[in-house]
Amino acid sequence: MAPVTATRYLEIADELAAELTGSPAGTRLDGEHGIGRRFGVGRAAARAALQELERRLLVRRVQGSGTFVNRRIDYTIAHDRRPSWHETVTAAGAQARTVVRSIETQPLPAAHAPALGLPAGTPCHRLVRQSYIDDLLAARVHEWVPVELVPDLGPAVHAAESLDLVLRQVGRVDPVRAWCRVSLDVPPPPVCAGLEIEASRPVWLVESVSRDATSGRPVMCSRSWMRSDAVRVVVELGSAPEGD
């Protein structure tokens, strides 16, 4: 084995990054042993090369499964965009999917009562969902929807998958994002576990309230934790200047 320089892992990362251009998201890379054999380096240098690709957000390492080509999209929040994961991800040219992890009827906590304009204790659906981009885990979402709006929300959201679509077709409302706050935060441990990330990794936290465009009635409030290696959250306010 030839002597390995201190920057050899960067050279390997650069070569692998060039090869990954155009590769579909989810494509599996060789592991540390395979990269080590190919480039004639030890496991430490191979691991450092993969970690460098991960820092560049080009790959995602999944413990126990391997390393996969990553695809990071712009998740755009704007007044003319529906508060819909599926529509936003699809508009970015990717494939969206959502899986319901739990849906329960619970009394509305006092902390969320002002957002929905309802008394604390009002029966509401509490949804916990995981969202995917090109079949790669991207977000964990907690949502509150008044029971009176869609009494049988469980079967409807399992069938349609898109909560925005269910609210429009079953709840007969037109949800628009009325308030939103975006921050970078470290999620609580259960959310970290759901996102399959280490406990110290910060992610995008998007908190929002949606209202019916016609009546102004609040119809949903949510907290979405989005992996920063999956999305770049873009907030657009007003009209873009000419030429942009």
Mean pLDDT for the stretch of residues 205-232: 95
In whole angstroms, what is the distance from residue 213 CA to residue 197 CA? 36
Mean pLDDT for the stretch of residues 72-78: 93
Nearest to 139 by CA among 28, 53, 25, 223: 223
Domains of the chain, first to last: 8-69 (1.10.10.10), 73-236 (3.40.1410.10)
Indicate whether 63 pLDDT > 80.
no
In whole angstroms, what is the distance from residue 150 CA to residue 69 CA? 39
Residues 6 or more apart from 113 whose CB is under 8 A from it? 119, 120, 122
Lowest-confidence pick of 75-79, 122-126, 235-239: 235-239
